[in-house]
């Protein structure tokens, strides 16, 4: 690294050194991250053609090697002059990386091992080839986003990449020793990593009847909930009958998961941590179907002098492709699968419940305004703070303060989906529609769906009548209505009543009058009954009601007549509600937009759970039992590692952009190209 001289008024010094490597021959994690992010920022990620496929946002082997041969990164910092604290100086550091083509290919191979890039033509390949096309992985985009934010860069040429590719929303960071860059192994990081690995609940993959390839973003979102599990029936050696093993997974899938969702940079690191899962009896070997046992690759770990009775003295993890492991009962307790779900707003000990605040909506009910509130939290102990340090705890509390959630929206969305998958009764459609109408974001999305199917007037009418009923219910004159005419010039109550009458006939002229701009398609009998009632009560100079209602015809309308009219409206409203529930809702819940919103809310719910987990680790490391009746007392002189979670803001920015675009479309404003 060389620091170039600065200009006048700037601090200036220069130095150079070889990149530090670990005992396993890999660069230190910080150097790896900086080099990877600097490379991606320098590349022009365009569309490349490979095997008759167009691969967007990609780069080739030649492009990566050419940039790595002479890669520069400049960073400026402002601070007090060490010689004169009253003077502020700007220090510009330019880091230059230089390497041969073979060294560049070796570095790119390390990026692949760390799951920062992947072969776009063959995602199962782990080899960086001499002629290949590559893309940045979701984990790589998460790392890249943090690098850009931390260094105050714009990187406009990467906006399209962040907008179109899946991003790892939550990345677990394990603390490393500063002298050799090895992960600090102790109870706290092992438990935190395992909880993230196992998920809040067993994660069984959903089966699809479609022959289409899975959507990458959806597949990544499902994997982020925890390792994919399966139930397997096996007859073990020495047993006469087969036995069912639940919560099973294969070794390679576990290694890939750890590399994808944590700062682990190689499969051997992941295998070592999986061996510690075995040592702590969180997972257990089941069987190995490999045909050539001599090719077995295993990692063995041993406990230190401070090992408790809970952990085995030593353990190994076998990495064969067909080696099967399962999550034990101890692992299930540690993952808290059987723990009762925490209610929104509840707190337990030092782990506050994370939440998302939703604002109130205002304005006419038929003119929905909804807002998708996105969150950005980056929590955990900062540099130089202990596990219970003030900075780490303050950061966690500050993040928690930004998360206040009203109800578990994700659980309710999942219930709707479950009732949709099974043969559900008609009442389930009613429940779905009630939920859609109660959630502003869903209601706005539902309105867009109805507009596309040319039946938006159904929702608009239902909301207008609901608002009219609410306003009428606040008037005390409704219960003691008289036959006295309403002039609109009397008391405040009379003015309020006059406004309700005008509102009722605006609804009629908009939705129910013949040839009205938003005429409803309602039952013929209901329409005739409403027309007959209005013809009976409305007359001007002896002329009955015909077509639309004129303002002069409402002058003699009484509160009793208004009440009867609202009752008719309510019957029509119920008819429209049933129509939406039986015809529109089943189609709406199958749309890509609904599925995307459900996954986004689930992501926020997962952020809440991860936040609680991280806060517990930051605030107070567990000193009592986590799973069964075991002790986590002393680990002798063993270092206590720390963990923290970082959350990407790019997914939240996508949600804000989509919400702004939907709102602009609703009010008829063109969305600028820069906001799309």
Distance of alpha carbon 238 from alpha carbon 240, whole angstroms: 7
Select from 125, 169, 143 the least CA-distant residue to 264: 143
- Most confident range (mean pLDDT) of 273-277, 335-339, 583-587 is 273-277
Task: Give the CB-side neighbour count of residue 612, counting CA atoms within 13 A.
Answer: 23
Considering only residues 661 and 595, tell me which one the structure prediction assigns the higher pLDDT: 595
Q: Is the pLDDT of residue 437 over 70?
A: yes
Is it the case that residue 611 has pLDDT exceeding 80?
no
Q: Name which of 179-193, 208-222, 442-456 the model is least confident about.
A: 208-222
| Residue-wise pLDDT tens digits, 221-251 | 889 999 999 999 988 877 788 899 999 999 9
pLDDT band of residue 20 (cuts 50, 70, 90) is: confident
Least confident of 123-132, 218-227, 256-265, 419-428: 419-428
pLDDT at 482: 44
Q: Say how many C-beta atoms besides its own lie within 10 A of residue 276's C-beta.
A: 25
Do 18-168 and 411-480+492-590 share a fold? Answer: no
State the pLDDT at residue 464. 92
Percent of the chain with pLDDT over 90: 28
Q: Is the pLDDT of residue 336 over 50?
A: yes
- For the residues 414-439, what does the mean pLDDT come to? 67
CATH placement of domain 177-205+216-336: 1.10.10.10
Q: What is the mean pLDDT of the chain?
A: 74
In this prediction, residues 615-638 reach a mean pLDDT of 36
- Measured CA to CA, the distance from residue 297 to residue 252 in angstroms comes to 11
Label residue 292 by pLDDT band (50, 70, 90).
low
pLDDT higher than threshold 80 for residue 625: no
The domain 411-480+492-590 is placed in CATH, from the list 3.40.640.10, 1.10.167.10, 3.20.20.140, 1.10.1060.10, at 1.10.167.10
Query: Does position 650 have pLDDT exceeding 60, yes or no?
Result: yes
Q: Is 56 exposed, middle or buried (0-12, 13-18, 19+ CB in 10 A)?
A: middle
The average pLDDT across 519-529 equals 85
Q: What pLDDT does residue 368 have?
A: 52
* Domain ranges within the chain, ordered by starting residue: 18-168, 177-205+216-336, 411-480+492-590
pLDDT at 360: 37
Stretch 566-571: mean pLDDT: 91
Q: What angle do CA 477, 478, 484 make, to 5 degrees?
A: 65
- The predicted structure's pLDDT at residue 601: 63
Q: Which fold has domain 18-168?
A: Arc Repressor Mutant, subunit A (1.10.10)
Per-residue pLDDT band for 599 (boundaries 50, 70, 90) equals low
Per-residue model confidence as pLDDT tens digits over 87-135: 877 777 777 777 889 999 999 999 999 999 999 888 888 899 988 999 9
Pick the more confident residue, 118 or 5.
118
CA distance 566 to 570: 6
DSSP SS3 for 220: helix
* Lowest pLDDT segment from 334-338, 343-347, 589-593: 343-347
């Amino acid at each position: 690294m060389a620091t170039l001289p600065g200009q006048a008024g700037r601090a200036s010094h220069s130095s150079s050194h070889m990149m530090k490597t670990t005992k396993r021959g890999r660069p230190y994690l910080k150097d790896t991250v900086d080099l990877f992010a600097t490379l991606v920022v320098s590349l022009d990620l365009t569309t490349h053609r490979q095997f008759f496929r167009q691969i967007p946002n990609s780069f080739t082997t030649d492009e990566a090697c050419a940039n790595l041969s002479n890669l520069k990164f400049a960073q400026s910092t402002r601070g007090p002059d060490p010689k004169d604290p009253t003077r502020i100086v700007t220090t510009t550091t330019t880091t230059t990386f230089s390497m041969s083509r073979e060294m560049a290919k070796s570095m790119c191979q390390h990026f692949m091992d760390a799951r920062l890039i992947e072969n776009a033509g063959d995602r199962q390949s782990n080899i960086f080839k001499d002629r290949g096309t590559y893309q940045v992985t979701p984990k790589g985009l998460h790392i890249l986003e943090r690098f850009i934010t931390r260094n105050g860069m714009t990187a406009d040429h990467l906006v399209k990449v962040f907008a179109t590719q899946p991003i790892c929303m939550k990345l677990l960071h394990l603390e490393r020793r500063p002298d050799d860059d090895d992960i600090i192994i102790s109870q706290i990081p092992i438990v935190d990593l395992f909880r993230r690995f196992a998920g809040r609940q067993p994660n069984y993959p959903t089966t699809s009847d479609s022959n289409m390839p899975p959507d990458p973003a959806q597949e990544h979102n499902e994997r982020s909930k925890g390792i994919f599990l399966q139930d397997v029936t096996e007859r073990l050696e020495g047993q006469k009958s087969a036995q069912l093993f639940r919560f099973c997974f294969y070794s390679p899938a576990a290694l890939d998961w750890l590399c994808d969702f944590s700062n682990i940079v190689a499969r051997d690191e992941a295998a070592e941590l999986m061996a510690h899962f075995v040592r702590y009896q969180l997972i257990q070997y089941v069987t190995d179907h490999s045909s050539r046992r001599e090719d077995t690759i295993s990692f063995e770990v041993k406990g230190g002098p401070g090992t408790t009775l809970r952990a085995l003295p030593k353990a190994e993890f076998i990495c064969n492709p067909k080696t099967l492991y399962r999550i034990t009962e101890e692992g299930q307790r540690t993952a808290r699968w059987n723990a009762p779900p925490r209610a929104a707003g509840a707190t337990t000990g030092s782990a506050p419940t994370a939440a998302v605040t939703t604002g109130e909506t205002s304005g006419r009910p038929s003119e929905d305004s909804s807002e998708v509130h996105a969150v950005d939290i980056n929590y955990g102990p900062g540099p130089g703070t202990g596990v219970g340090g003030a900075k780490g705890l303050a950061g966690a509390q500050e993040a928690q303060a930004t998360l206040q959630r009203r109800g578990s929206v994700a659980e309710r969305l999942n219930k709707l989906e479950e009732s949709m998958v099974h043969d559900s009764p008609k009442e389930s459609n009613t429940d779905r529609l009630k939920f859609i109408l109660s959630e502003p974001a869903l209601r706005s999305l539902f309105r867009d769906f109805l507009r596309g199917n040319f039946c938006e007037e159904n929702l608009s009418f239902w909301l207008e009548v609901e608002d009219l009923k609410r306003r009428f219910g606040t008037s005390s004159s409704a219960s003691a209505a008289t036959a006295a005419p309403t002039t609109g010039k009397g008391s405040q109550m009379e003015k309020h009543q006059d406004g309700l009458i005008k509102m009722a006939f605006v609804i009629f002229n908009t939705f129910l009058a013949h040839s009205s701009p938003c005429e409803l398609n309602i039952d013929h009998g209901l329409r005739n009954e409403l027309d007959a009632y209005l013809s009976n009560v409305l007359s001007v100079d002896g002329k009955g009601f015909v077509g639309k209602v004129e303002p002069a015809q409402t002058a003699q309308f009484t509160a009793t007549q208004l009440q009867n009219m609202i009752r008719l409206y309510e019957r029509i409203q119920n008819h429209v509600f049933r129509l939406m529930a039986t015809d529109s809702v089943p189609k709406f819940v199958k749309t890509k937009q609904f599925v995307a919103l459900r996954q986004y809310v689930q992501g926020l719910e997962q952020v809440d759970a991860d936040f609680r987990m991280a806060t517990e680790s930051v605030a107070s490391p567990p000193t009592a039992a986590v799973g069964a009746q075991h002790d986590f007392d002393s680990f002798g002189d063993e270092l206590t590692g720390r963990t923290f979670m970082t959350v990407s803001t790019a997914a939240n920015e996508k949600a804000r952009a989509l919400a702004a675009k939907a709102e602009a479309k609703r009010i008829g404003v063109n969305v600028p190209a820069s906001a799309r």
